[in-house]
């Protein structure tokens, strides 16, 4: 709790200043138009996560708390967890329709709305968290994401990143590609398409249903996020084989979408506060996951007897080969998806030498 208070206090100093500047620019307009700058506005934020779920749900809470505090209560945001107002996989429609003004979720859930949406979450063997932020904020990423969501009346934002995820929990060892045949595995998005081509049966389940499905045998394997969240869900009680790396989600963006009409109705200072609060939490989530994951991984192995393993090299090579084919085929299905993938792929190819020279080289050196 103290870390959250420290975070919000620090954010107030940074984001609040942005809001103050924007507010100053609008001051004369407000006076001349007779508008009430102290009008109270109440927003709803719906999520795809269980209430107060570590990392994901709590980051949505932080966004709401920051906006409420930085606006001095002029804009209050109330969070509704999955199932409290709408279902976990109904967030997109709810915000688009104005049932809620904000939504915190993952863009790969919305393939049925736009094929291109899933490329703004994470793609197999794609960008890491640091690279994804670079593409979004300083490359073409955000402009393309806005183009994809515009027809739905939504403004997209990166609302957190879990970093590189784990490869998943399995009720049997994965020693070869053949071990995927007939495997029922919870894996949404493009990763699900990849394992399907290896003979697996992908299943799309919201987070709150994963444990019971794995424990009952309804599924044979699941990916969720990483040690921090997986420990919280108690997945180690249902399966003991825990594989890395998360080839399917190397740097997973959580989104915080905003209803465009609701956002445009805000004065400029509140718009700056909303945007600034989301961006602060986007970076904060990655820091939290990096801190929590390392401890949770230790506890899973040492306290709960989890067998932490790496996928065999043969399996990784085949996953990469199939992933490349899936991504290119998916992009070819419509022009906008092709445009998004072309930009992200070009950035991935361009940034890889630097990432390998920088982070990759120092990590290898630390093992000497």
pLDDT digits (tens, 9 = 90+) for 146-174: 999 999 999 999 999 999 999 999 999 99
For residues 247-265, average pLDDT: 97
Identify the DSSP state of 118: G
Angle, helices 335-355/141-149, rounded to nearest 10 degrees: 160
Q: pTM of the prediction?
A: 0.86
* Enclosing H/E stretch for 42: strand 41-47
Instruction: Provide the pLDDT for residue 273.
Output: 98
Domains of the chain: 2-163+251-290 (3.40.190.170)
Neighbours of 183 (CB within 10 A): 20
DSSP label at 307?
Answer: E
Q: pLDDT tens digits for 285-313?
A: 999 999 999 999 999 999 999 999 999 99
Beta strands in 221-294 (DSSP E): 221-222, 241-244, 253-259
**Confidence label for 205 from pLDDT (cuts 50, 70 and 90):** confident
Dmax (CA) of the chain: 72
């Amino acid at each position: 709790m103290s870390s959250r208070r420290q975070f919000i206090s620090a954010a107030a100093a940074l984001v609040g200043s942005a809001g103050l500047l924007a507010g100053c620019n609008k001051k004369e307009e407000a006076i001349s138009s007779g508008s009430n700058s102290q009008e109270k506005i109440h927003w709803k934020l719906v999520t795809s996560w269980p209430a107060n779920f570590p990392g994901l749900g709590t980051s949505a809470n932080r966004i709401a708390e920051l906006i409420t505090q930085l606006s001095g209560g002029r804009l209050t945001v109330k969070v509704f967890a999955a199932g409290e107002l709408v279902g976990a996989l109904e967030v997109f429609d709810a915000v688009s329709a104005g049932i809620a003004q904000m939504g915190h979720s993952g863009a790969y859930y919305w393939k049925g709305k736009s094929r291109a949406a899933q490329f703004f979450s994470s793609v197999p063997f794609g960008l890491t968290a640091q690279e994804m932020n670079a593409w979004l904020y300083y490359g073409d990423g955000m402009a393309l994401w806005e183009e994809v969501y515009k027809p739905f009346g939504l403004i997209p934002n990166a609302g957190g990143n879990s970093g590189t995820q784990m490869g998943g929990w399995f009720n049997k060892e994965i020693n070869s590609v053949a071990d995927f045949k007939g495997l029922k595995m919870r894996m949404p998005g493009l990763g699900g398409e990849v394992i399907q081509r290896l003979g697996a049966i992908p299943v799309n389940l919201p987070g709150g249903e994963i444990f019971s499905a794995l424990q009952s045998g309804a599924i044979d394997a699941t990916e969720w996020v990483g040690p921090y969240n997986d420990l919280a869900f108690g997945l180690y009680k249902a399966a003991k084989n825990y594989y890395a790396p998360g080839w399917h989600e190397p740097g997973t963006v959580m989104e915080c979408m905003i209803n465009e009409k609701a956002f445009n109705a805000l004065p400029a200072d509140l718009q700056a506060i909303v945007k600034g609060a989301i961006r602060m939490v986007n970076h904060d989530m990655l820091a939290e996951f990096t801190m929590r994951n390392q401890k949770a991984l230790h506890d899973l192995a040492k306290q709960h007897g989890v067998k932490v393993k790496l996928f065999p090299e043969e399996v990784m090579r085949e996953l990469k080969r199939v992933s490349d084919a899936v991504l290119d085929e998916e992009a070819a299905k419509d022009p906008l998806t092709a445009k998004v993938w072309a930009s992200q792929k070009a950035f991935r190819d361009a940034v890889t030498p630097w990432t390998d020279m920088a982070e990759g080289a120092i990590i290898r050196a630390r093992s000497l």
